[in-house]
A and B are shown apart, each in its own frame.
Chain A
Amino acid sequence: MPDTLFLVELGGVVLVLAVLARVGARFGFSPIPLYLLAGLAFGEGGVIPLVTADDFIEAGAEIGLILLLFSLGLEYSARELVDSMRSNATIGLLDLVFNFVPGFVAGLFLGWGPVAATVLGGVTYISSSGVIARTLHDLEWMGNRETPIVLAILVFEDLVMAGFLPFITAILVGGDGTGVVLSIVLSLLVVLAVLAGAARYGPALSRAVFSHSDEAMLLGVLAIVLLMAGGTQALNISAAVGAFLAGIAMSGPSADRARALLVPLRAVFAAAFFIFFGVQIDPGGIPPVIVPAVALATVGAATKFVTGWIGAHRFGLRRRGRVRAGVALIARGEFSIVIAGLAVAAGAEPELGPIAATYVLVLAIVGPLAARAADRLPPSPTTGKAQST
């Protein structure tokens, strides 16, 4: 009776997730690293490998990725993104250089090809908006003067990601030199066309999908997201990009309602996404890469700290504000996994998955911890002679 077994197995997985989410909430941590660990245990070579539920979780993971990126897009309008790019270009580019380069160089060091190294650069670059937003809220930092700077850096990163994802998909698909260049150009053109379309027709689309019925609204939004994601995927551009662009296109009251309605759905499918990433990784692959991964995490924490420090310094903040901006940015999470997930799915370097997982595990935990430590820093002395850690 395979059907009965399927439900029991899926129920077991969801039960584990429920317990982990509870643990995370209890201690004020993001459950993402815990989900990854659970995924490792459920995968091949793990403690309790899945037998029947893996197909379902794989499909769920795909939807989870789409919903993650769609919610990210919902946070912004096309105008906000463009404004942000103009006014935060310097610190945004600094962030990109400081945090992309270590991963890229480490990849080359490990003897990988440029494609896998670029992916690792993306993994080390992007901070976790989800973990950081939660930390800012929990520590009551929303009022602080460094917060707009931290958020501006995150927006810039998300914008870079909109260009990075199609780029990485194109180079992962590979082919000969001209083929790659062609598909990169094509995908960037599609992204620009959709962005322009979103700025122009987004409001009309948002009005069309708006409904006072929760059911009609939710289904309408889901249909648009899945179709956009599927459409971009059919063009060989990541489905994640289509979902992100769909989110950007939606604005006004529709975006507010969609955001609220999607919260529970996203929680379920995003969990499936993180589990599935863990499932794809052989836990046996982690011990050999633990040293480079932890070293990379140490560097990644330091470079983000410096980025935040410089950003806050440029806005004339004092020591304590600069420290807070630095530590706030350390956390990596969902989007590092999104980038690594594309490469793992495309069958890139086998060490990439374990390194990315370890890197995120470490920094998703260290980031919020460092923020809590910084929160207890004494006020800046006017002479500024005290040293922080």
Chain B
Amino acid sequence: MPVVNEVRLPGIGVRYEFVTEDGSRVGVIHHRTGERELVLYEQDDPDTSHDLLRLTPEDGRTLAELLGVSQVARELTELEQDVEGLAIDRLPLAATSPYAGRTIGDTGARTKTGVSIVAILRPGGAIPAPGPEFGLQAGDVLVVVGTPRGIEELAILLRPS
């Protein structure tokens, strides 16, 4: 799986980018409003992007489903709406993260931030409820549950130092 690059867009949301096997640079913008944008970068100018799709939250889920993402993430989204103050997020693990190639236990996520890593999304399929001995790989997407603040702290913890 290619490295997913995370770029914060203050006031707007987050943008994830990666390069596909055939060399296209693709970006997905998560707007805080729930809207998703799918963009493609020009081959000869990596600074310039073109919108492929603008998706409502519902559209985004449908597309993800069709692309083969497991049910886990979606069920968690429903849970998030039921429990007040609970946030669920997906944190991609960059290749340069200090925890790529180490175990979940090594991150100390639970003790340091109170956040639980409840699933790992990998191209081969999702791994639900990974234990502390579970080995993380670059490119994994961690599905995490906790307070918004705790998740923010975990994201910083996982960031390349």
Contact = CB atoms under 8 A, between A and B. Distances in A.
Interface residues of A, number: 35
Q: Is the interface of B mostly helix, strand, loop or mixed?
A: mixed
Interface in A108-165: 129, 133, 140-148, 151-152, 154-155
A144 B49 contact: yes
Contact of A151 (B11, B27, B50): B11
- Which residue, A140, A143, A148, has most C-beta atoms of chain B within 10 A? A143
Interface string A77-96: 00110001000000000000
A102 B126 CA distance: 57
A127 B117 CA distance: 41
B51 A143 contact: yes
A379 interface: yes
B45 A380 contact: yes
A317 B45 CA distance: 9
B11 A320 contact: no
A210 interface: yes
- Which residue, B7, B12, B41, has most C-beta atoms of chain A within 10 A? B12
Contact of A80 (B10, B37, B85): B10
A317 B7 CA distance: 15
A11 interface: no
A322 to B, nearest CB: 8
A27 B87 CA distance: 39
A84 B44 contact: no
Contacts of B47: 144-146, 317-318, 320-321, 324
Nearest to A206: B85
A317 B48 CA distance: 10
Given A143-B37, A210-B84, A379-B42, A151 B48 contact: no
7 contacts: A79-B152, A143-B29, A203-B147, A252-B148, A318-B47, A321-B45, A380-B45
Interface of A: 75-76, 79-80, 84, 129, 133, 140-148, 151-152, 154-155, 203, 207, 210, 251-253, 256, 317-318, 320-321, 324, 379-380, 382
